[in-house]
Amino acid sequence: MRLLLTALAVVLLALPVHAAEPVRGMVRYVYDGDTLLLVARSQGQLKVRLYGIDAPETAQPDRPGQPYGAVARRVLMYKLLGRVVTVEPQDQDRYGRLVGVVRLDGRDINAEMVAEGLAWAYRQYLQGPYASTYSGLEERARHRHLGLWRQGNPLPPWEFRRITSGRRRHF
């Protein structure tokens, strides 16, 4: 019994370490300004949500998009499509997506999207050093009127989703 408990403890302790290992792969598709499809040699296809940011929503068949949603998607495509990136896992969301910090040649792409005014710092989910970094980048982009901050008072995506969720068609 003691051997079984010891083995179980070793397995449970090893899981978070394995889950936190960086994932390297090629970006095959960009869904919007904060979500992409990664093809990794060891894991196959992974849908990846950029950690700590929330980009304006893009138009879908069942709902309209937000201003700068298409721009954010195009910029992320330009930066990453067809390129090999490293994802530093932070979490897994309720949709089963890997949530992580995407790096290209050492650059923090999540931070770049916020700094360029193409995403909000998603404070509800930010922790540790990313919280102050991303929040500071958002403030700078806001003061410089970059990207979506050219609008007077842009509607955050989490509010947009809440407002438009009643308009969605259910199949």
Q: Which residues pair with 47 in a beta bridge?
A: 37
Residue 128 tokens, joined: 């540790």
Establish whether 167 is a catalytic residue: no
Establish whether 123 is a catalytic residue: no
Active-site residue (options: 49, 73, 112, 138):
49
Q: Please say whether the beta carbons of 103 and 86 come within 8 A.
A: yes
CATH number of the domain at 92, please: 2.40.50.90
**Residues of the chain above pLDDT 70, percent:** 85
Residue 49 forms part of a structural domain: yes
96 sits in the region (left: phi over 0; alpha: psi -120 to 50; else beta) called: left
Residue 30 tokens, joined: 């960009």
Asked if residue 1 has pLDDT above 60, the reply is no
Residue 144 forms part of a structural domain: yes
C-alpha to C-alpha distance for 59 and 70, rounded to whole angstroms: 8
C-alpha to C-alpha distance for 100 and 79, rounded to whole angstroms: 16
Q: Please say whether the beta carbons of 98 and 48 come within 8 A.
A: yes
pLDDT for res 152: 87
pLDDT top residue among 171 and 76: 76
Asked if residue 93 has pLDDT above 80, the reply is yes
Active-site residue (options: 24, 63, 97, 161):
97
**Which amino acid type is present at position 126?**
L
Q: How many domains would you assign to the chain? A: 1
Q: What is the DSSP letter of 85?
A: E
Establish whether 97 is a catalytic residue: yes
Residue 6 forms part of a structural domain: no
pLDDT digit string (tens) for 7-28? 434 333 433 434 479 999 999 9
Q: What is the mean pLDDT of the chain?
A: 89
77: domain range?
Answer: 21-160
